[in-house]
Amino acid sequence: MNSQFPEATPLGAFTDEELRALIAAGQVVDCLTGDVLLTEGDPGDSMYLLLEGTTVARLSSGHTIRRYEAGSWFGDLSFINPGHRRSATVVATSSSKVVKLDQGTAKTLLESHPRALFALMQRTCAFLVDAERSLVTDLRRRNAELEDTIRRLELTSQRLTREEITARTDALTGLGNRRAFELNLPDFVDRALTLGTGLAVLALDLDHFKPINDSLGHAAGDEVLRGVGQVLMAGVRRTDLPCRVGGDEFLVLLGDLSESAAKMRAEALCKALGTMPHPGDDRGTRITSSIGGTMFVKGEATEDFLKRADEALYAAKKAGRNRVGWA
């Protein structure tokens, strides 16, 4: 082995005689800091032995992928396979001395020092095989890391999805809550405007609900509210959105239907709620509700849309409750 470079470096594996033959057959080049020796994407047929100084290999993105110290070489793949395009740009990072070996060098060595050429080709191929093994190992490691990251992201996504569903759900009734209503309302409006279909909102209150809590307790009131949730979920389509937005206050979005169909749906819900038995009352008293409904008008603000439903609800209450008001 030669004494000029550490044995662990590519050039450290050559004898002094072989290294002298390589340097004599090649072209010695002195480089300044910043000089470009190879350019990514350019076809090549030469390799470089780094005798002094340091260089780096960079991608077009500017990312440095490797650093070379004295005793290293680079560009070996193009030397073995002429015309191969450079995979990176190599730049001198200090004053350096390199030996350029090209196809002419190979012919010269074949005639004058065939043993040195054989050693160069043998060790270059071995170096490339080791590099490929290292690359495969690195790719496997990175793939395992990527799979682990994907699993973590999937678990995080599932957790966030569950948390978001929980954040949008009324725990007592299983309906959407005010957050769900506010988040979904713009989508319902956009769909109505895009498709030119009708959009209705129903504002619903239970009649005389407070006395239930006051006289029978909150457990009885919760039982009634759960029953309302079941009636609303059973009485609307999967594409509709029933929400509990307050104590006994509910809002229902009905998309893709005409005004007459929306009124029929409101009347059906009012009737279905009226069949619910009053807790603690065995005399046939039923739970009733007042509903106010309206259709979305193109160009109006959603605040006006909801306000009109509230006004219709107030009118239904004023007219005697247990009925549907429409605005």
C-alpha to C-alpha distance for 183 and 308, rounded to whole angstroms: 20
pLDDT 10s digits, 203-261:
999 998 888 877 778 788 888 999 999 999 999 999 999 999 999 999 999 999 999 99
Instruction: Report residue 286's pLDDT band, with 50, 70 and 90 as the boundaries.
Output: confident
Whether 248 is a known active-site residue: answer yes
C-alpha to C-alpha distance for 47 and 78, rounded to whole angstroms: 7
Direct distance between the N- and C-terminal alpha carbons of the chain, in angstroms, rounded to an integer: 97
pTM of this structure: 0.54
Nearest to 213 by CA among 288, 280, 124: 280
Q: Single out the catalytic residue among 248, 281, 304, 310.
A: 248
Nearest to 263 by CA among 288, 290, 295, 287: 295
**Residues sharing a CB contact under 8 Å with residue 251, sequence separation 6 or more, in sequence order:** 181, 201, 202, 203, 204, 242, 243, 245, 306, 309
pLDDT 10s digits, 154-211:
766 676 677 777 788 899 999 999 999 999 999 999 999 988 999 999 999 999 888 8
Please tell me what DSSP assigns to residue 53: S
Length of the chain: 327
- Radius of gyration over every alpha carbon of the chain, rounded to an integer in angstroms: 40
> Which domains are delineated in the chain?
11-137 (2.60.120.10), 178-326 (3.30.70.270)
